Structure 1
Amino acid sequence: MRRILIVGNSGAGKSTLARVVARRLGLPLIHLDRHYWRPGWIAPAPAEFRTEVAALAARQHWVMDGNYAGTLDLRLPRADLLVLVDPPWPLCLARVIRRRWDPRAADRPDLPDGCPERLDLDFLRYVPRYPRRSRPRVLAAVAAHAPALPVVRLGSRRQADRWCESLPVA
């Protein structure tokens, strides 16, 4: 495995899992949030972001975390494995809320400088809607752009830990 794409709900543990997998396999880590957001939570122009994602996906080796459904068509064909981090949405929502007030979240390595942890109503609504809206879109994108791509679905931290332990150590 040279290119692993990790997706899932907010608060699912994508970034944490991506760090563990990248370290274990000795692969470069790409947090898409760091490439998408500009200081002050300013979004880039869609064409600009797609160009950047295409360049990132073209690299030989990576572990990449982030949803950004509008770029799945660029990333899925290049991936060797898709990991869907898929715990129950109430757990994801609790994690999102908890990390907002966790002082350790102030320096999250998956967020760019100038983008402190935040919560807003749209974000809080996204989390319970993910299983019905976003997960099916991810699976449809796999079918459309990379039908032979292996998919690992991890529904709990225990499953994620077991899966990580099964990976070779670089």
Structure 2
Amino acid sequence: MQKILIFGNAAAGKSTLAKKIAKKQGLAHLDLDTLAWLATSPPQRKRLSDSAIEIDNFTQQHSSWVIEGCYSDLLELLTSNNAADHDNVKNKAFANEIIFLDIAINRCITHAENRSWEAHKYPSKQAQDDNLAMLIDWIKAYETRSDTFSKQAHQQLYTRFVGKKNIITSID
């Protein structure tokens, strides 16, 4: 059973890689963007415990999967690094492989500028494009932030993981 986590900066190519792996290996695919946020304007994060329940439901329904996102706090729920701290995740369906997309910031910006409409995130391509300047600023801050979305948090997750792991620094 394959259980793969993919993480990195915004527009690093996480969704594209996850879809490719899911199709090739016949895995269920979960984009954490679909369960990390409340449907509010402006968007607000759900409580970690609420997202954990949704992740648990997904992993109970699928024995093999690829899950991707930039949320190290949610991804950590799927590693055995701190299993005792995650009693709210009943299934304990831990990843057996992680992939860290450590893509150059300028490449992520190019990906963001050229991405097709993400209908699961935006009501229209125009709404997505209206958000582009904010997304580019977010991408640029990846190496200086210290939050759950930061390069620092991703490097810590990668370092602590025990199992098969890969860093990819170039992707098209």
Place the TM-score, normalised by the shorter chain, in its bin. Answer: 0.7 to 0.9
Unpaired segments of 5 or more residues in structure 2?
A: 81-93
2:157 corresponds to 1:154: no
The correspondence of residues 1-170 of structure 1 with structure 2, limited to 5 A, is 2-39=2-39, 41=43, 43-57=45-59, 59-77=62-80, 78-99=94-115, 104-107=116-119, 111-112=120-121, 114=123, 117=128, 119=131, 123-133=135-145, 134-144=150-160, 146=161, 148-157=162-171
Question: Which whole-Å deviations, capped at 9, do the CAs of 1:46-101 have from their partners, x for residues lacking one?
Answer: 321122223334542101111212223211221111111122101101222333xx
- Partner residue, 1:168: none
Distance 2:135 2:25 in 1: 32
Report the CA distance between 1:19 and its aligned residue: 0.3
Rate the CA distance shift 1:80–1:136 in 2: closer, same or farther, 3 A: same
Point out the structure with the larger helix share.
1
User: Does the 8 Å CA contact 2:48/2:74 hold for their aligned counterparts?
Assistant: no
Residue by residue over 1:89-127, the C-alpha shift from the partner in whole angstroms, topping out at 9 and shown as x without a partner, is 01101222333xxxx4153xxx35758525266533321
User: Percent same amino acid at aligned positions?
Assistant: 23
Q: Kindly indicate whether structure 1 or structure 2 has the higher relative contact order, using CA contacts under 8 Å at least 6 residues apart.
A: 1
CA contact (8 A) 1:73 1:141 kept: yes
TM-score norm. by structure 2 comes to 0.71
Q: TM-score, normalised by structure 1?
A: 0.72
The answer to whether the 8 A contact 2:5-2:75 is kept is no
Root-mean-square deviation (CA, aligned residues, Å) is 2.6
| Unaligned segments of structure 1, at least 5 residues | 159-170
SS in 2 for 1:153: strand
- Displacement of 1:152: 0.9
Amino acid at match of 1:3: K
Find the residue that maps to 1:130 and give its secondary structure.
coil
3-state SS in 1 of match to 2:79:
helix
What is the DSSP-based 3-state SS (H/G/I as helix, E as strand, rest coil) of the residue aligned with 1:79?
coil
Whole-Å Cα distance in 2 between the matches of residues 149 and 132 of structure 1?
A: 28
